[in-house]
Amino acid sequence: MGFTVRAITLDLDDTLWPFAPIGERIERVLDDWLRTHSPATAEMFPITAMRALRERTWHQNAHLAHDLSALRRMTLEIALRDSGADPALIDGAYDTFYAERNRVEFYPDALDALARIAHRVPVAAVSNGNADLHAIGIDRHFAMQLHSREHGAAKPAASIFLAACERLGHAPGDVLHVGDHIEADVAGATRAGLRSCWINREAQQWPHDDITPDLHFDTLTGLADWLDARN
């Protein structure tokens, strides 16, 4: 491919690690915590009911779609309030969620590939999620991190991609965005003027006729190999 990559913006969830196991574990761990610290809340909101409350809260507060931390905290506050629990428990409940959220199991190729990529070009994490690179232990590989919460808008909004490019100090056409999500990552980055790389671990079919990813791999190693071959 005939283009230069001077920096990379990188999605996190479902690109470096699968999120589904994290989400399932969060539900179990949070339920255990509530059964110990607020049995009435756990009784009123077992895992399935807490999940329904979370989905309802997120649907009713779509204006906060860029801030998953605020939505999670709001869900917990409602559950504590409605079950007559001490509202001061919110901090402990949220801290329990957040610690578990940052326990990730990387895809087998991801850590080695990330280190190889970061050795070649500056890498910025650009995520709609709320993962903490320092807590996870991979912040050394990143020049910066930009959350949708910090920015005020979520991918696929062009503004978050452009803000990351500005902070990296490179024009959008010199930045490659890498991610798994067809719309939020690949289509969003392409429409913002960045180059795009689709990490397609699930062998999905590309749905668009008017947009095509510049690069397409089934693992992050594919991108690391591509960068190595060009240097």
pLDDT in tens, the chain (231 residues): 579 999 999 999 999 999 999 999 999 999 999 999 999 999 999 999 999 999 999 999 999 999 999 999 999 999 999 999 999 999 999 999 999 999 999 999 999 999 999 999 999 999 999 999 999 999 999 999 999 999 999 999 999 999 999 999 999 999 999 999 999 999 999 999 999 999 999 999 999 999 999 999 999 999 999 999 986
User: In the numeric block, which tokens belong to residue 178?
Assistant: 């890498």
92 and 196 housed in the same domain: no
Indicate the residue type of 38.
S
| Burial of 20 from C-beta contacts in 10 A (0-12 / 13-18 / 19+) | exposed
Asked whether residue 225 is assigned to any structural domain, the reply reads yes
pTM of the model: 0.94
What is the C-alpha to C-alpha distance for residues 17 and 138, in angstroms, rounded to an integer? 12
25 and 121 housed in the same domain: no
| Burial of 125 from C-beta contacts in 10 A (0-12 / 13-18 / 19+) | buried
Task: Provide the domain count of the chain.
Answer: 2
3-state SS class at 15: coil
Cis omega (within 30 of 0) on the bond before 156?
yes
137 and 97 housed in the same domain: no
78 and 189 housed in the same domain: no
Question: At which of 52, 79, 101 does a domain end?
Answer: 101
92 and 173 housed in the same domain: no
111 and 168 housed in the same domain: yes
